[in-house]
Amino acid sequence: MSWTPDYPRTVPERRPPGHRPRAPRWTLGFDAPLSLVTSDYLALQCAGPDDPAVGPFLERVRACHTGRDGADAPEAWELLSFTDEAGRHNLVHLGYWRDATAHARWLATAPLPRWFAELDAAAVPFGAWHEVVQVPLDRVETIYSDPRRAFGLAACPGTRRESMTVNGYFGAARDRLPLSAIDPLEAAVPHRRRARPAASEGRRLRAECGHNTAVIRSGQYWQQAEGEQLADYTEALEPKLMAGMAHLREAADAEGTLSLRVMTSLDRETLRPLRETSVLGHFHTLAALEGWAAGHATHAAIYEHAIAKNRQYGEARTVVTWHEVFVLPRTAAFAYVNCHPATGILPYATSVLAVEPDGPAGDSPAAYGG
């Protein structure tokens, strides 16, 4: 039996009376109580895969997972890459922890976060960014179309994929968040773009999210797909997915999109791109994400296609989709070093502060704002 926070519901659930899902789905269970779960994105932003900064970055990544430096290493980790709005190559180390104290020790002592903390923003010929998503378990929800492979947070030990029926209706993601039983998870202020772009190049900035910002990592895995199923993904489902992501980017002000990155998973040893992608999206609120899911044709096309193929192939389906959602408390803050001003949440951050390094454990605000 797994453990999950449970509250007596005071906020009505969204599940329609008598609802039965059209397709089976699974969610993540934990073997023991946890205080916080962490997903830590630390990335290099540079000219391309052959940039001279890539080698030293990877050396520090690998050092974090070996020997003494690996003592508090993430329980699950990945390498990903993507090209951003400015045409920059981003190489991302993503780590997951169930122990927030181990993560804090890693930040203070491991080669990769120490490297980031010590960067001189005015001198380096590349950018770097660090976005830590750390929340209590009652602010997390997950869903998987197939339980046989562990994705994201599910790759941590002490977890299991469990069958569920809280799926297949608009609002199901909200209902899977334990905190939604007692909290409507609303934003404190309206969604708006900053009046002017952050002066980010040559500076170290700390950008804050608004209270109840929603972060989703939504994954697609087709490494094992062949023949008809492979063709269906590349020629039908993937174009629908990319159309939806393009809409969320282009209509960011209307849809509540703070940031959207389509990342490709890499082989950790060879850096060869895998047939696996994930979309990392930040939204003003969960309601903003729900609004697109419930009311826009691009999401309907993705959803109906996935359901139809699940019904067609059943357990023989070799394309897997999944997501994990984190709803952030007010305290979340992300760091950017010499990045272009469209990086991450910078265009929509509720506040942006210039900071000066204060040793390897973190940053301290400088005396001036950004």
Residue 106 sits at φ, ψ, to 5 deg, of: -60, -45
Exposure string over 75-94, b if 16+ CB within 10 A, otherwise e? bbbbbbbbebeeebbbbbbb
Confidence of residue 39 (pLDDT cuts 50, 70, 90): very high
Confidence of residue 124 (pLDDT cuts 50, 70, 90): very high
Q: How far apart are CA 308 and CA 306, in angstroms?
A: 6
- For 180-231, the pLDDT digits (tens) are 999 999 999 999 999 999 999 999 999 999 999 999 999 999 999 999 999 9
The one-character DSSP state at 286 is: H
- For 225-261, the pLDDT digits (tens) are 999 999 999 999 999 999 999 999 999 999 999 999 9
* DSSP3 helix / strand / coil % (the chain, rounded to 5): 30, 30, 40
Q: How far apart are CA 150 and CA 161, in angstroms?
A: 8
Signed CA dihedral, 346, 250, 84, 226: sign only: positive
Q: How far apart are CA 334 and CA 40, in angstroms?
A: 10
Residue type, 167: N
Q: Are 52 and 25 in contact (CB under 8 A)?
A: no
Q: What is the mean pLDDT of the chain?
A: 94
Q: How far apart are CA 95 and CA 312, in angstroms?
A: 35
Pick from 32, 303, 332, 27: nearest CA to 178: 27
Q: How far apart are CA 284 and CA 143, in angstroms?
A: 21
